Structure 1
Amino acid sequence: MIRIEHRQDRLVVFLEGELTFYNSSEIKEQIKREITGNEEQLILEFSGLTMIDSSGVGIIISLLKKMNGKDLVVVAPPPKIARVLEITRINQIVPIVGTLDEAYQK
């Protein structure tokens, strides 16, 4: 499930369930349609995510490029998801924080 909210100059994406090969194209397109270019920050809220595979990791990279140098932050990934982000070294190019408030401070 995906829920997208525009909050001032931020786009906040709440993801629940799986972010895998089976749904990644649809989710990526939903998010990209919402990006206007006026956002200063894209926040991916992962607390409800239960699974991510290489397609899901690819979405993060694709969205980072789409933001064109603006901030992308991952919020509250569960331990299993955080481990995948660490193994793939996404955590070295995308900040990972515990709360939305922390993301707003980035």
Structure 2
Amino acid sequence: MTDQEIHVRHLTGTDPQAEGKAPGLVEQCREALDRGARALARDGYRLEDVTRIVFLMRDTDGFPSCFPLLRDAFGDGRPGTTLRLVPGFDTPGTQIEIELVVDPSQL
């Protein structure tokens, strides 16, 4: 482990190589968090250790449907949260991108 912040960026729930309709927002959020959990695990951390999370979205209308998933993912941890509205994403069909930050000094 390190004393420096760990940043896991560009987590999406879409596959640029996949054809067909992109998954819905909740499914994309779940997949992005799963990818983030795997990346954090390589450094010995868990989603519960996340101290800050940044969501990038084009449209926030469906975002409340992700709240139960987020409560499950972060457990008792309450990471600082930022929601940024963006004009779009490089991969068509992407509805959400997530950045996770772990600050070991806050654990």
**What TM-score range do you get, normalising by the shorter chain?**
0.3 to 0.5
Of the two structures, which has the highest relative contact order with CA contacts closer than 8 Å and spacing of 6 or more? 2
Which structure has the highest strand share of the two? 1
TM-score, normalised to structure 2, is 0.37
TM-score when normalising by structure 1 = 0.38
